[in-house]
Chain A
Amino acid sequence: MPKTFEMGGIHPPEDKISSDEQIIFGEVPEKLLVPVDQHIGKPCEIIVEKGSVVERGQLVAKSTGFVSSNVHSPVAGKVDKIVKMPQLGGQIKQCALISPETSGENYADILKKDSNNNINLEKLSVENIRKTIADAGIVGMGGAGFPTHVKLSPPPEKTIDTLIINGAECEPYITSDHRVMLEHAEEMIKGILILQHLFDGVPIYIGIERNKPDAIETLEKAAKDYDKITVVPLIVKYPQGGEKQLIKAILNREVPSKGLPMDVGVVVQNVATVLSIHDAFYHNRPLMERVVTISGNLVKKPGNIMLPIGTPISYVMDKFEIDPEKVRVMISGGPMMGRTSYSFESPITKTTSALLFFDESRIIGRDENPCIRCGSCLRACPMGLAVAQLTEMIKANNIASAVQDSIMDCIECGSCSYVCPADRRLVHWMRLGKNIIRREN
């Protein structure tokens, strides 16, 4: 019996047009813009300067605390300068502009040159695993970018009894996790075994939505020798990839309000993150590249491409023959939670799962109409929040009431805005309210 979460949720058109496209590799671009900050937490400290010569895998920016993450150069080359550039999502951040020595070389060949290690799981200590993951700069690659080693270090009073691998990929258009599951299932299982070892052999569930039957089959095959690894097919419903929804769907456990998955004994890791963990151990490879889905109605041949971190979007547009004159809407991530961006020179980061290019037919930037209290947003909210009232509270600056009515539990999935017949920017107001509250505390 396939599972799903109970409360709220929507089913937007899936639009997974690139799901049959194999992961391709491009040539190393002429310039890379490696951003210093790609994670949630303390900003990194840049440790290269103009003129520095870097090797592939060399540290560019150093983590400055526990909740922080290293950044490495994906290529050997020379740092031209340190510049401030607009990022996907809009902020302006420091980047190392690197001229690769290997520009023009196929990235697949570069990956092949990385070392191959044999790992004896039994000899890996818990500290060693956490340190390797932290050193490799691995963050949650599903979109949030929270440092993975922090998630893997729950305080001693929290017992972790289950590990969930998030292969839901519930956002429309995105197929990068789908392709990773199809083409890197063996590596994924090896990565999962490392995590299982870290948590004393806990059972593992891999949650995959049923619109990816081939991925379910491939992973079931890859996991058949491990009786503690179970693939769980899920009914297609957005936002199933949200941690709390996924845990509810698979284990029927409800993470308490304001709580974290570890409060119910669970750690959730994204598919791409697991692959990066594998690479860190088996190839000594820090997180320096990722699979990105390139799609949208302006992309003649949508696909999935392995890109080094720091690749400018303009490179992708050349590669996929996207006419910059026609692009009106550019989204990093999926249409539900992804952010619109304004610069074709912004670089790919560790959390860029997709780049979508649309012309003006994409509905965006609408005017708000009056709320008619239809209640659609309340029914769609996977957290059961009274969105219509919460947004009115925020507009009236009634912060205390909003906090009391659990505004901080909003996961910003956008289901409310999606269903609103009056085009109200509900999730936008929720986000604003959350930011005001965070700033006040």
Chain B
Amino acid sequence: MEDKLEARLLLMDSSPSGRVVESTRRIMYTVSLTLLPAMAISVWVFGWEAVRVLVLAAVFCIGLEALIARFVSYKIDFLDGSALLTGILLAMNLPANAPWWMILVGSLVAIIIGKQVFGGLGQNIFNPALVARVFLLISFPVEMTAWPKPFAGVDAATGATPLGILKTEGVGALAKTNLADLAIGSMGGSLGEISAIALLLGAAYMIYKRYITWEGPVLFIGTVFVFSGIFWLIDPTKYADPMFHILTGGVFLGAFYMATDMVTSPLTFKGRLLFGFGCGLFTIIIRMFGSYPEGVSFAILLMNAMVPLLDKYFPDKKFGMVQNG
């Protein structure tokens, strides 16, 4: 009897009925897939060690989220792809020789402090992967700055990143780096910060899918270029050239994958312009005057904190805000 009644009841809901095929899962997995070229480059440059870091970070992040899902009152879909993406982005920020326990600590920080304490997906103020990177950088400065040299195999000698060399030895020591190597990714560094071209490839697809917009990354990279260019023009013997600055460190990774993170970047057009500009400005300030060689992570985290203000004070134009009535 009850079955029959159930079968005849009509479903009620508020309009609209019907929706796009787009979903949170689809977005998260697609963004993860667009990182494939960059992942491939990191494997090419650093070998199987890169695969190890990627897999461990992804497994730790998803596993931790699954664990937390058992203890919290709200619903967590740990397979929605967001934990996977955080894991991949965290790996992209680590050296290929990162020990497993460091990856675990990073995942713990990313998933718990970076994301779930705020209430989970969509609620976090700071980019979880960057929170983890900065945490590790401050806590384990030795492990986080001993970067394996490109194409050197498993027990490779380690060396500094080009930016590290710039910081410690000055612009003269950079003589041998050439721009093509930097663009492809043949340099020391974390998994994801090395290949600008591979990152650009993935980003182009995301822009096509409208998962990210051009204005944030362009302003970010443009600001780094312009300000480092000004310093370079003032004294080329002391400062590196602007192309060097945008191709090294995490500028491309940061601009296209961190500063465009939907959750932690502004919703409005002007907000995104200012956000990109701020990221670029802080990056250069830290690189030029800070004690760390690299400033992208700190810059983005600083700007993450500004997002609610940017959204509030730089809203998009609304319909009907005219005086012709």
Contact = CB atoms under 8 A, between A and B. Distances in A.
Contacts of B211: 374
Given A325-B8, A389-B311, A365 B13 contact: yes
Given A376-B22, A418-B20, A382 B14 contact: no
Contact of B12 (A340, A362, A409, A423): A340
**Residue of B8, B22, B82, B320 with highest tally of chain A CB at under 10 A:** B320
Contacts of B320: 244, 254-259, 383, 409
Contact of A263 (B14, B121, B325): B325
A375 B19 contact: no
Contact of A420 (B11, B19, B322, B323): B19
A370 interface: yes
A197 B210 CA distance: 49
Contacts of A428: 14
A372 B121 contact: yes
Given A254-B319, A257-B319, A259-B325, A423 B122 contact: no
Given A254-B319, A325-B8, A378-B316, A335 B17 contact: yes
A306 interface: no
Given A383-B318, A384-B316, A421-B26, A330 B16 contact: no
B18 A370 contact: no
B123 A370 contact: yes
A88 to B, nearest CB: 12
Nearest to B323: A256
A422 B267 contact: no
B306 interface: no
B172 interface: no
A256 B321 CA distance: 6
A389 B20 CA distance: 21
Nearest to B272: A375
B16 A253 contact: no
A370 B120 contact: yes
Interface in B20-55: 20, 22-24, 26-27
Interface in B97-121: 120-121
B180 interface: no
A417 interface: yes
Contacts of B122: 370-373, 422
**Residue of B8, B263, B318, B322 with highest tally of chain A CB at under 10 A:** B318
Interface in A379-419: 379, 382-386, 388-389, 405-406, 409, 412, 414, 417-419
Nearest to B267: A375
A363 B262 contact: no
B5 to A, nearest CB: 12
| Chain B: interface size category | 35 or more
Contact of A329 (B8, B11, B20, B315): B11
B325 A255 contact: yes
A423 B19 contact: yes
B24 A421 contact: yes
Given A259-B320, A264-B324, A389-B311, A329 B17 contact: yes
B319 A383 contact: yes
Interface in B120-165: 120-123
A330 B319 contact: no
A427 B24 contact: no
Contacts of B291: none
Interface residues of A, number: 70
B20 A419 contact: yes
Given A369-B77, A370-B123, A335 B24 contact: no
B10 A341 contact: yes
Contacts of A330: 10
Contacts of A423: 19, 23
B207 to A, nearest CB: 14
Interface in A36-59: none
**Residue of B16, B210, B317, B325 with highest tally of chain A CB at under 10 A:** B16
B15 A337 contact: yes
Contacts of A325: 7-8
A409 B11 contact: no
B11 A364 contact: yes
Contact of B319 (A90, A328, A384): A384
Given A417-B16, A418-B19, A409 B267 contact: no
A253 B322 CA distance: 10
Contacts of A264: 324-325
B317 A253 contact: no
Contacts of B263: 372-373
Contacts of B268: 378, 386
A327 interface: yes
A264 B324 CA distance: 7
Nearest to B121: A370
Nearest to A382: B319
Contacts of B262: 372-375
Contacts of B12: 90, 340-342, 365
Nearest to B20: A419
B19 A417 contact: yes
A267 to B, nearest CB: 15
B17 A427 contact: no
Nearest to B74: A370
B318 A336 contact: no
A80 B225 CA distance: 82
Contacts of B77: 369
B319 A418 contact: no
Contact of A378 (B13, B20, B267): B267
B29 to A, nearest CB: 12
Contacts of B82: 372
13 contacts: A248-B319, A256-B322, A335-B18, A336-B15, A342-B10, A364-B11, A365-B12, A370-B24, A372-B121, A383-B319, A406-B318, A419-B20, A425-B14
Given A369-B121, A386-B268, A425-B13, 10 more contacts: A255-B320, A256-B321, A257-B321, A259-B325, A335-B15, A373-B262, A374-B27, A386-B315, A421-B22, A421-B26
Q: Which 10 A-B pairs have the closest CB atoms?
A: A414-B16, A256-B325, A257-B320, A370-B122, A384-B318, A428-B14, A263-B325, A421-B22, A383-B319, A336-B16
